[in-house]
Amino acid sequence: MPSPTIVLVHGAFADASSWRPVFDRLADDGHTVLAPPNPLRGLRYDASYTASVIDQIDGPVVLVGHSYGGAVITVAGGSAKVAGLVYVAGVAPDEGESVNDLQGRFPSLAMGPLVRPAQLADGSVEVSIDPARFHDVFCADVPDADAAFMAISQRPVSAAAFDDPATAAAWRAKPSWAVFGTADYPVAPELHRFSYDRAGATVTEVEGASHFLMRSQPDIVARVIREAVVASAVNVAP
């Protein structure tokens, strides 16, 4: 049976390098792994871009999404090539739901102002996180030096992205796995539990882990992805 290619989709305020510790572990096991850029220009655009990446892959795919990247794989995961979905502290909207719809039902545990808007030349607005708050809110369990670089290298996201409704919900038809930390401040643990229970996902909770648990707990995250790959491969026709 062909082993699925693993596609790692990063979230907002991050880039593909956020997956490096997980990539190292999966690559050492011999898995084929891709970590494409997530454009962060809006859910429809980002999902379409990810779908184009999937289209270029030979064989089955396991899609992995962190944070807002979870919404992206929820829409892009409808491709016939996608054998399974993995949410790493990822948001999993239903069709017609936006990230902000879910955040409104289960508000973030982060306190105080975090987001900094910036108007672009074309009149659109993108948002980033105040670097002074990045460490304590997003990745409190990541070493100081790593968190400092993550804060100043973060990629802003279109302000409209979190209001874009999902046009599909791949978790309704595809098997899913999820892993999140109980000390996730940007996305409340109760939101994770609600979303993953609704999706029928196989869930792993990591006590005390932050929102960026793929950086602080890469062994656990890699293990969940391996489980998804093995289970998904069984369902792939030879």
Amino acid 38: pLDDT? 98
C-beta of residue 54 within 8 angstroms of C-beta of residue 76? yes
pTM for the model? 0.96
Amino acid 151: pLDDT? 96
Q: Which one-letter amino acid corresponds to residue 152?
A: I
User: What confidence tier does 172 reach under pLDDT thresholds 50, 70, 90?
Assistant: very high
Kindly tell me if the per-residue pLDDT of 157 is higher than 70: yes
DSSP letter, residue 109: S
Q: Left, alpha or beta for 199 (phi > 0: left; psi -120 to 50: alpha)?
A: alpha
The Cβ of residue 122 has, within 10 Å, a number of other Cβ atoms equal to 5
Greatest alpha-carbon pair distance for the chain in Å reads 52
Amino acid 113: pLDDT? 76
Amino acid 223: pLDDT? 98
User: What is the residue whose two structure tokens read 């790692």?
Assistant: 8
User: What confidence tier does 238 reach under pLDDT thresholds 50, 70, 90?
Assistant: very low
C-beta of residue 21 within 8 angstroms of C-beta of residue 101? no
DSSP letter, residue 107: -
Kindly tell me if the per-residue pLDDT of 237 is higher than 50: no
Kindly tell me if the per-residue pLDDT of 111 is higher than 90: no
